[in-house]
Amino acid sequence: MCFRRSSPLIHSIGPYEGGLRPADSPFEALCEAVAYQQLSGKAAATIYGRFRSLTDESRSLDPLLVSKLSEEQLRGCGLSRAKSAAIQDLSAKTLEGVVPGHASLAPLSDQDIIDRLISVRGIGPWSVKMYLMFRLGRPDVLPQTDLGIRKGVMRTYGLPKMPTPKQVIVLAEDWRPFRTLASWYLWRSLELDQ
């Protein structure tokens, strides 16, 4: 197992520096997740900043206000047509109660939260797992389809080729109940000199 305190990977990276990034609501966190999907951090931050400028940035993101934004306004921020539709659906489902507040989600199991939130257009298991890891602080979440996780596993374990998500799941059994922490180290491992 590569995730013991004495492991070379942990020694090279150092102590965990992550933490929770609070959001006022699941709606706000998932809007940000949609904006960041499949983009570099810098590009996504710019687009999300433009999106937030359409709302009162000093306040929590309001699904009612967002639901009133036109597709043209959303697209003008740099959001794709698909992401604009996802944010509109997220607004509607939040207003309908399908996407509740943190307090209602917190007691649910990880799988129950995933099952509930993937009913929103554009929100898949990866986005929900990021929410579970970095907003709810769930300790045992594994985003096995994440390219960075798969590359990190390949590098850390010295594999000749990229592991499949199923292979990542098998390897990650040894990391329970701290797969979130192991994932953070795998992402960080990609920043190390080779």
Catalytic annotation present for 56? no
Catalytic option among 56, 115, 140, 146? 146
C-alpha–C-alpha distance, residues 104 and 116, integer Å: 12
Nearest in space to 65 (alpha carbons), one of 27, 33, 39: 27
Q: Give the chain's end-to-end CA distance (angstroms, integer).
A: 20
User: 38: phi > 0 → left, psi -120 to 50 → alpha, else beta; which?
Assistant: left
Q: Quote the tokens at residue 160.
A: 């000749």
Nearest in space to 78 (alpha carbons), one of 36, 119, 117: 36
Catalytic machinery residues: 146
